[in-house]
Amino acid sequence: MNFKKNHMLILLGLTALSITACKKDNTESSISNQDIQQAQTAENSSQLTIDDNDNNQQVVFTAEGNYRTLDKEALEEYNKQYKSFKTMKYFYNDDKDTSIAVAKVAPLGKSKEDYFSDLEKNVKKSFPQAEYTQGMTADNQFNYAAYSYHDSKNNLNNACDVILTENSKTLYSVCAISPSQSIEFLKEAVKNISVKALKQ
């Protein structure tokens, strides 16, 4: 599949997230096919972790299969165009033909009530057929929202989970996209996200 196109389209799923939280520069950028192909192989484990050293937190979730990660330098170059919206890690599974992008917004300049209200409006405006739910994580520590939809124009399925940590005023999103996997598969790939204190 076209990896460059795939990355740009996964960012469509994050557009509602970034617009809700901050203004995005008009500069367009994408991660190249070469960057994707040179991605390092992730550990042979279903548990994927992303360290947020700025907030001394770690995002953890599980996903079936082996995922490669995009080169750190390529991500840093891409993120230069953003002020508060940052893609922290980009995973790709060749066998499952699935990409997962983990991003954060910080600091969040809205109350959680306003943020999630605006997020729902933006998601449904951008993707009218989207399924959207909101609630608390299983441990009752964080507010979250989950949304999924089929992009008929590009024949892609998408699923995103978003978690808000009020203590650090930081929002984390995990979005999965695939042209071949079902929405239900993608929902499984991004569910059960947890945020833990980063071990020193």
Per-residue confidence (pLDDT) for residue 84, from 0 to 100: 66
As a whole number of angstroms, the distance between CA 15 and CA 173 comes to: 11
pTM of the model: 0.75
Round to whole Å and give the CA distance between 138 and 52: 22
Check whether 42 has a pLDDT greater than 80.
Answer: no
List, in sequence order, every residue forming a beta bridge with 194; answer none if it has no partner: 60
Report residue 57 as tokens.
């937190």
Is residue 181 over pLDDT 90?
Answer: yes
Preceding omega of 107 cis (within 30 degrees of 0)? yes
| pLDDT at res. 15 | 40
Q: Note the pLDDT tens digit of each residue in 66-117.
A: 888 888 888 888 778 776 678 899 888 888 899 898 998 877 788 888 888 9
- Residue with the two structure tokens 């997962």: 100
Q: Is the dihedral of CA 41, 44, 46, 49 positive or negative?
A: negative
The Cα 130–Cα 150 span in angstroms is: 8
- Domains of the chain in sequence order: 3-18+37-197 (3.40.1000.10)
Determine which helix (DSSP H) or strand (DSSP E) holds 21, and give its type and residue range. Answer: helix 3-21
Which pLDDT belongs to residue 43?
Answer: 43
The SS3 assignment for 40 reads: strand
pLDDT of 22 strictly over 90: no
Q: Which residue has the higher pLDDT, 92 or 137?
A: 92
Side chain identity, residue 20? T
For residue 131, the model assigns a pLDDT of 95
- For residue 181, the surrounding DSSP H or E stretch is none
